[in-house]
Structure 1
């Protein structure tokens, strides 16, 4: 079978390797689709702080069961599945208390351990989540980023009836906006500095879309949410400007949740954060319940994923996919690799 390997930043090779042996407790997945995310792009540019080379990438994935290992129950050959890419110790305090997404020894497939970018991938059955048979493989590959969004919404508790602001209209920001609406939020405002991305957010159901190059964020909050402003603000852009907007204009005593990863040390006004008794919360990946809810939201039509797919590339054109993303940053949402082509 073919396996992708990034040997250095911007350098991708394909190697012929044996189909992996399926050990007891494992299943063999025939990989169909892989999504490229922002963290993958950091690896491509040599800017991911926790990834060494060579590395086989791929963590947003869909496929079908090709073989079932000894002792595995509940799966069938040909069944559509996705894979949760966390590799955890199971022994540390977070793992022992059900928060394995915060494992002290956390590794993620495609970054600190081998990713799924190959024709077949053997994996522990407990990391495999079934997909509905009528769900497309494209949608299946996007359950992972949607699970990120679902987990982020959960960090605010029950959002039923709440007014939500989402800063950043990239794929994660738009998924957070959709997840908020799907999980009961009253209304959602999305901000960005790109009209193209904001149009995509509107297509995906955002109630209000604001270009903060032209409109002050605080003014938009008052216009669309009234004097009580937003109940929760999600920073899905992750920079001093957006976090500064959130802290400056949040309703006193309300909540800000950081979803994006800051690329550099933040310089924000913690004095205002303190003075306004704001809750600054964070979110990290997902757990199994987030995958299940992500699948449910798509199945119930509360989240639509197809508008976020920008382009497909054949498996051997992995490098061209990265080059396309670099050349079309503003207009690109999600690029999908067709592994079996």
Structure 2
């Protein structure tokens, strides 16, 4: 079968490897159909991801079809559509024991610290898998993973109902975070330097947008929130100035949730954090319940994703997909690899 591997930053090689044949009793073999390219994947491609060694087989946003099941598998059958959490956890450390396995002490993530799904077939344990509705396309199924990120992080600041929320960065994650915050009852403003991405946010139902190149953030806040300011900020751009803007402008006693992966270590104005009793909150990945919630809202249409898909590439053009993202920059949202 085909397999794509990144031996070093900026390179992708293709191997012909054996199809998995030893399927455990509680394991499932899927035929991988679609893979989404994530901003974190691009960090790896540029050698900027802080927790990824090389060589690495990427691919953690994906969907596939069940082609074989172990004899003890009860929730899946041949022909089912599925995806799965890419988290490999110990189940024994403190975070795992209290249910926070997404921050396991020895967490490995497939596609980063463990081999991902950039190949024709992949073996998964049943307990990490999520069944997709038969009516859901494989393409939408590949968006469950980033949607689960949004589901998880929008819970980190508590109840958002009736709160004013600012999301910095209108890439795929920022867009989905804004949509999930809206579903949770927030009044949402999303910011970005790209008019293309801001228009895509509007296409996905996010009414309020701001381009700081054209309008100062303070003016945007006044226009959208009628002088009330905002209570919660979600930083999804991965740049220091965006994080600083949220910290400098959020209401006293407010929350700032750092969602993005940063290629360079940002500086934080701790004096403002202390003086205004702000909470800077970390968030990592998701739980199984977040995946289930992502599938629910994707299936019922409350989350709009079609405008997010910019371009599709065949598996053989994996490297070209990365180059396209580099070349197109802010004119790109989600690129899909088609197997």
2:302 & 2:79 partners in 1: Cα distance? 27
2:323 & 2:264 partners in 1: Cα distance? 24
2:5 & 2:179 partners in 1: Cα distance? 34
Q: Which residue of 1 aligns with 2:61?
A: 60
**Secondary structure at the counterpart of residue 6 of structure 2:** strand
Which range is displaced more, 328-337 or 37-46? 37-46
Contact 1:182–1:297, Cα closer than 8 Å, also in 2: no
Quote the offset at 1:288 in angstroms. Answer: 0.5
Contact 2:75–2:126, Cα closer than 8 Å, also in 1: no
For the pair 1:313 / 2:313, whether they are aligned, the reply is: yes
**Secondary structure at the counterpart of residue 154 of structure 1:** coil
* 1:194-231 Cα deviation digits (max 9, x unpaired): 11111111111112111111211122112211222112
**Secondary structure at the counterpart of residue 11 of structure 1:** coil
* 1:239-291 Cα deviation digits (max 9, x unpaired): 22112211111111111111112222222321111111111112110001100
1:326 & 1:194 partners in 2: Cα distance? 15
Q: Which residue of 2 aligns with 1:253?
A: 253
Contact 2:40–2:261, Cα closer than 8 Å, also in 1: no
1:39 & 1:240 partners in 2: Cα distance? 17
2:173 & 2:33 partners in 1: Cα distance? 22
Q: Which residue of 1 aligns with 2:264?
A: 264
1:145 & 1:189 partners in 2: Cα distance? 20
TM norm structure 1: 0.96
Quote the offset at 1:54 in angstroms. Answer: 1.9
Quote the offset at 1:161 in angstroms. Answer: 2.2
Q: Which residue of 2 aligns with 1:131?
A: 132
Which range is displaced more, 262-271 or 86-95? 262-271
1:27 & 1:254 partners in 2: Cα distance? 44
Q: Which residue of 1 aligns with 2:223?
A: 223
Q: Which residue of 2 aligns with 1:157?
A: 158
The aligned length equals 338
Quote the offset at 1:143 in angstroms. Answer: 0.5
Contact 2:57–2:111, Cα closer than 8 Å, also in 1: yes
TM norm structure 2: 0.97
1:221 & 1:189 partners in 2: Cα distance? 8
Which range is displaced more, 239-248 or 171-180? 239-248
2:263 & 2:15 partners in 1: Cα distance? 32
1:51 & 1:153 partners in 2: Cα distance? 26
**Secondary structure at the counterpart of residue 8 of structure 1:** coil
1:158 & 1:148 partners in 2: Cα distance? 17
Which range is displaced more, 104-113 or 230-239? 230-239
Which range is displaced more, 262-271 or 281-290? 262-271
Q: Which residue of 2 aligns with 1:73?
A: 74
Which range is displaced more, 8-17 or 174-183? 8-17
**Secondary structure at the counterpart of residue 330 of structure 2:** coil
1:268 & 1:102 partners in 2: Cα distance? 23
2:193 & 2:57 partners in 1: Cα distance? 34
Which range is displaced more, 47-56 or 298-307? 47-56
Q: Which residue of 1 aligns with 2:52?
A: 51
Unaligned runs of 5+ in 1: none
